[in-house]
Every structure is written in structure tokens, then in C-alpha cells.
Amino acid sequence: MYLWKYWRDTRIIFSAAVLVIAALFIEILRERVGRVADAHQFANALPVFLLLQSLPLGFLGWFLGSFGIGRDLGEGSGSFLCSRPKNRSYFMWCSWACGLMQLLTIVALANMVLWFQIHRLLLSTGDASHGQISFPDGTSLSLISILCLTCAIVFLLVALVFTLTFSLTVVMKNVRGIIYGAGILVGYMILAARVTHYWHTVRLPNLAIQQFAYSKGQVAGIADHLGVSMAVRLAVILLFPFATQIVLEKMDI
């Protein structure tokens, strides 16, 4: 029953996102692809595709983070839900997991469209490498492998934004958590930039995982220790709901 309520609250946003992706796919189908002369330029274009989808999907994760048990607490229905036989944690984990599943679906669809467009461009070069993209450091990966990796990295970023906003909304018992979530994210980016400006050797972790290694401003290959970075990010994402559960259990509603 609660899952249906969460879907009813978020279905317009989810459906709108899917329709935008579908419209983008239709536009790509209608577009004629010119011949690309050099297949090596794809390596340097990949970070652009990563950035282009990270910004709107990050915004979507931030917006969806305001839904769930935190919004219910702010609207007064939370006291009714939390008086049900089920534990409070059930409602929190259900809304958190459903939100992430919606985001995962949207990120996967967006990357499928992205894969289709890059695949068409790759074919326009003659595809002499048979779907492989070569990097200056000598490594070579298939396009589908790179896009799956990109999908995972974008999802981890979106999940971090969603989880932070979701947790703040629950802790504050109000949808205003979405404002504080945005404030923390923007504040952290400003802090990271200022720290690097004044102390050139000190770098705070980026919100987005660095997927590619660079040499002289050009993509050289896949970043070192990428698996470790993804595992750490996943651990941080999971830390938020567990901490939120503890707060919610002790909260006076």
C-alpha cells in the first residue's frame, strides 16, 4: 500500500523524465549522422557525454529526494503511518529504495540512448576497431563497457544527491530538507574550489567520481583505482539511510 502511495506521488516526475528521454531518442533517429573522420576523437568526447547527463539527472535526484517518509512527516500523514503495525524503518527504506529504483531506470534509459548515438557515430567512421575505443595509454575498451561504467558512475552521483536530500528531509520532518540539501551540495563545491585555490596540493574529494585519467588536458585512459572510488562512494551512500533510520527511530512524531 505504501509503495503505491509513493508511486502515486512521484509518477508524474518519473513519467516526465521518461518522456524527455523518449523525445531525445526520437530526435536522434530523425537526425542524419555525418561521416566522422577520426575515431580517436571519441575518447576526448566521452567526458562531455558524462557531464551532459550528470547535471540534469543530478537535479532530478535532488528533486525526488524530497519525496517519501520525510514529506509525509511534514504534511502530517507521517504520524498516521508511524502508528501502523510496521516499523518506521519500513516506510523509510521503502521510499528510499523506490526512489533509487526510479533513478536507476532513468539513468539506464539515458545511457542506452547515449550508447545508440555514439554507436551511430562510431559506425560513421567505418568502425575499423569493431566497437572498441582506444585510449592514448594503450588500453582499449568496448563502447558498451564504457557506457555501462558511465551508467554506474552517473547513478552513484545521482544516488548521493538523492540520499543526502532524502535524509535531510526525514531528519527535519519537512520538505524543506530539499533546500538544505542543495545548500550543502553547493557549499561543498565552493569549499572544494576555495581549498584548492589557497592550498594547491590539497584536494577535497569530488562529488562526481573521476572516470578518466588525463594527460596534458586530454583523456589518456580509465582512471586508476576506479573500482575503489566506486566502492567508497557506495559505502557513503549507504551510510546516510542507516544513520537516518537511527534518527527516525528515536524521533518524537
- Sort residue 131 into left (φ over 0), alpha (ψ -120 to 50) or beta: left
Top pLDDT among 253 and 143 is at 143
- pLDDT per residue over 37-93, tens digit each? 555 666 777 788 888 888 899 999 998 988 877 776 766 665 566 666 667 778 888
pLDDT in tens, 110-168: 999 988 888 777 777 666 566 677 777 777 778 788 888 889 999 999 999 999 999 88
> Which segments of the chain does DSSP mark as H helices, in order?
2-30, 41-64, 69-75, 78-81, 88-124, 143-172, 177-198, 226-250
pLDDT value of position 161: 93
pLDDT value at 171 more than 90: no
pTM of the predicted structure, to 2 decimals:
0.87
Q: Domain coordinates of the chain in residue numbers?
A: 2-16+36-250
CB atoms near residue 170 (< 10 Å): 31
Contact 6, 98 (CB under 8 A): yes
Tell me, what's the pLDDT at 233? 92
Average pLDDT over the chain reads: 81
**Are 213 and 224 contacting, i.e. CB atoms less than 8 angstroms apart?**
yes
